[in-house]
Amino acid sequence: MHGVHSPLVYNLIKDVIYNKNLKSPWFTSIEKMRNAFNNDYTLIDSIDYGAASKYKSTHKTIRKICSTTSKSKKYSQLLFRLIKWHNPKYALELGTSLGISAMYQATGLSENAKLITIEGHEAVALKAKHVIKELNFNSIEVIVGNFDKELPKVLNNVPQLDWVFFDGNHKKEPTLRYFTQCLEKASNNALFIFDDINWSDEMREAWIEIKNHPKAYLTIDLFFVGLVLVNKREQKEHFTILF
Residue 105 near ligand SAM by CB under 6 A:
no
Q: Alpha-carbon distance 76 to 61, whole Å? A: 22
Say whether 155 sits in a helix, a strand or coil: helix
Binding segment toward ligand SAM, per CB under 6 A, in 25-33, 36-44, 133-141, 166-174:
166-174
Cβ–Cβ < 8 Å for 3, 242: no
Min separation Cβ 115 and ligand SAM, Å: 11
Query: Of 77, 105, 139, 169, which lies in the binding site for ligand SAM, with binding defined by CB under 6 A?
Result: 169
Query: Of 37, 86, 119, 178, which lies in the binding site for ligand SAM, with binding defined by CB under 6 A?
Result: 119
Residue 95 near ligand SAM by CB under 6 A:
yes
Binding to ligand SAM, residues 41-80 (CB under 6 A): 51, 53, 55, 69-71
Residue 97 near ligand SAM by CB under 6 A:
yes
Q: Alpha-carbon distance 34 to 4, whole Å? A: 36
Binding to ligand SAM, residues 144-163 (CB under 6 A): 146-148
Give the number of other Cβ atoms within 10 Å of residue 56's Cβ: 10
Residue 87 phi/psi, 5-degree rounding, is: 55, 60
Q: Alpha-carbon distance 215 to 218, whole Å? A: 9
Residue (202 or 237) nearer to ligand SAM, CB: 202
Please state the separation of Cα 132 from the chain's center in Å: 16
Long-range contacts, stretch 15-23, CB < 8 angstroms, 24+ apart: 15/85, 16/81, 16/82, 16/85, 17/78, 17/81, 17/82, 17/220, 17/222, 17/241, 17/243, 18/243, 19/81, 20/77, 22/80, 22/81, 22/84, 23/77
Query: Of 17, 168, 226, 230, which lies in the binding site for ligand SAM, with binding defined by CB under 6 A?
Result: 168
Binding segment toward ligand SAM, per CB under 6 A, in 35-43, 81-89, 113-121, 226-234:
113-121
Min separation Cβ 104 and ligand SAM, Å: 8
Residue 101 near ligand SAM by CB under 6 A:
yes
Where on the chain is the footprint of ligand SAM (CB under 6 A)? 51, 53, 55, 69-71, 95, 97-98, 100-101, 118-121, 124, 146-148, 167-169
